[in-house]
Structure formats: structure tokens, C-alpha cells
Amino acid sequence: MPITEVTRQAILDELRLNNIRWAGRLDEPTFLARLYPLDEMPSYDRRFGNARDDIQQHRENNLDWDDDWVFTDDRLGLDQSDEKLLQFLAMTVHPAVRPDRDEVHKIVDLYNRHLRMDGWELAETAQISGRPVFAARSALTVPGTVKQIAKHVVAGDMDYIAKQITRMETAVDNDPELAIGTAKELIETACKTVLEAIGVKVDKKWDVPQLLRETTKQLQLAPGTVSATTAAADSIKRVLGSLGNIAAGVAELRNSYGTGHGKTSGAGGLGPRHARLVVGAASTLAVFLFETYNDRIERQKLASSNTP
């Protein structure tokens, strides 16, 4: 469901009435730089060459823009894009922005009271130094596996993965092609995260199937690594072999219909049901890779502790 104008205004009113500073302990340009490439965005003031300097001048030096300016600035799109609004709200309660846990949960409850009217909510997806990290999710339309991804990530950039999760969740119904494109990116991220954590240098030329082959090889998941003496070895090999088909299928759908590639004239679009299928498959694969990596780390720790 789209986030309505009524909900957007209600959240803005709550921030204003409760005197909540959306940038938290950061200055506004620093906060927004966590979400936007400010140095590459245009300035509305002809004296400056980019949005960062523009914002710095009018919000930190002159203070001649209203406190609510961020919600109507066309460059930021908070009044136009559900994805951007949800990512913005999640960032306002990020540990780097607002370290007080009690304050964070109070603000999240405030947001959710209104977001849930449109089928959305902010939910804890990970922790940094014992403090919660939130991302948006839809309890109505998104495959449950998406919500499990962040729980299993122990390596890599959790902020980036959280953004991918939010993008998929917000796009499944409103922009199925974006959801499919992000599902492909999620598989790439999962493979690269695991490989880099293991210490394997990732070749920039590797496509999704190649990334997955190398990841399953390093995790000893490749069909060829299953011993013939293992119970139901043939079945295990078939299941593991199907992982490559999932990755290839997601990549092909993304190339044909998803974001990031030109389409042939007259190419038909995909609907939410297709996006849910692809997002669910990609999320299941990502969870499996992260779980397997975590299991490998735990086994290594156990072996190390048992070594005299």
C-alpha cells in the first residue's frame, strides 16, 4: 500500500509537536549525506556548486530555511517516494544519529502508529554495538524470508543490506521491476559479503552465477563437495545445484524486466506476484548463504576452543 499524504503529514506534525530534531546529534548536511550523494546534487543557490554547500549555508550558517524544509525539497523526494521516506525515517533512529535507546523506541512507536495505517512499520533488523538498527517492512505483502535476512548477517555493511531490504519491501507492489532488480543485487551482495569475509578477492567481472559458484565452493556447498557416502547424497546435490538455477533465473528476469537494463519495444511488465516470487527466492538464498557462513564460523570457534 502507498503511504498516503495524510500519513506523511501526520508524521511531520508529530515531529513538530514533539520537538524532535530529525538529524539527531548530527548536523543536517552530515545526516543527509548518509542517504544522498549531496556533493553530486544541484544547489538551489547559484553561489554554490552542490547541495551540501547549499544546505550548509541556509541551515547551519544563516538558518533562513524552515525546520521542515527537508520534507518539501524536490531534490530529496520525501514527499514523493515511499522508499526514500522510509529510509529517511529509519535513519533518524540509527545509532549513529540517535544513541539513546529509550528515545529511539519512543520515536519508532510514534512512526509506526501512523505507518501501520498504510500497512508499513519500522522493525529492528540488526544491532550495532548493542543498539538497534531499524528498516521498513510490510507485514501485508512481503515474503517472510525477507525479514529474516538481517538476523543472519555477521559480516559486511548492514546499513547497505538494510537499504536493499527496504527497497524490495517498498517496491514489491508499487514497482515490481525495481523489486526484481534489487533481488538480483541482494544475491550479489550476499555472495560478495561472504567471500570478502572469508578472504577471497572478488573479481569485478563475475556475474551472479559465477559469484554463486565461487561462494558455494568456498562454503563447501558446491554439488561436487558432497561425499557419495553422505546419506541422500544425490538429493543434496540436486538441491545445491538448484541454487545456481535460482541465481541465474533472478538475473535473467532482472535483465529482461528489472531495473538497470534497457527493454525492447513492447516488452511487457511484471506484476507484484512475480516480484514476490523473485524476492522470496533471492531472500531464501541469501539467508541460506549467511546461515551457512555463520555455521562455518561457529564450527571454527568450537574447533579452536577444543585445541590444546
pLDDT tens for 100-159 read 999 999 999 999 999 988 888 898 877 788 888 888 877 554 445 555 555 555 545 566
Cβ burial 236-262 (10 Å sphere, 16+ → b, else e): ebeebeebbebbebbbebbeebbbeee
Question: Which of 12-26, 90-104, 134-148, 238-252 is predicted with the least confidence, judged by mean pLDDT?
Answer: 134-148
Indicate if the alpha-carbon torsion angle 71, 74, 75, 77 is positive or negative: positive
Residue 36 has pLDDT above 90, yes or no: yes
Closest CA to 286 of 227, 208, 233, 232: 208
Residues 6+ apart with CB under 8 A from 65: 58, 59
Closest CA to 242 of 288, 182, 296: 288
**CA distances (Å), 30 to each of 45, 48, 83, 104, in order?**
19, 17, 20, 19
| Cα–Cα distance for residue pair 52/45, rounded to 1 Å | 11
* Tens-digit pLDDT profile for residues 41-86: 999 999 999 999 999 999 999 989 998 999 999 999 999 899 899 9
Looking at residue 59, the DSSP 8-state letter turns out to be I
Average pLDDT along the chain: 82
Q: Which amino acid appears at position 170 of this protein?
A: T
Indicate if the alpha-carbon torsion angle 75, 116, 136, 92 is positive or negative: positive
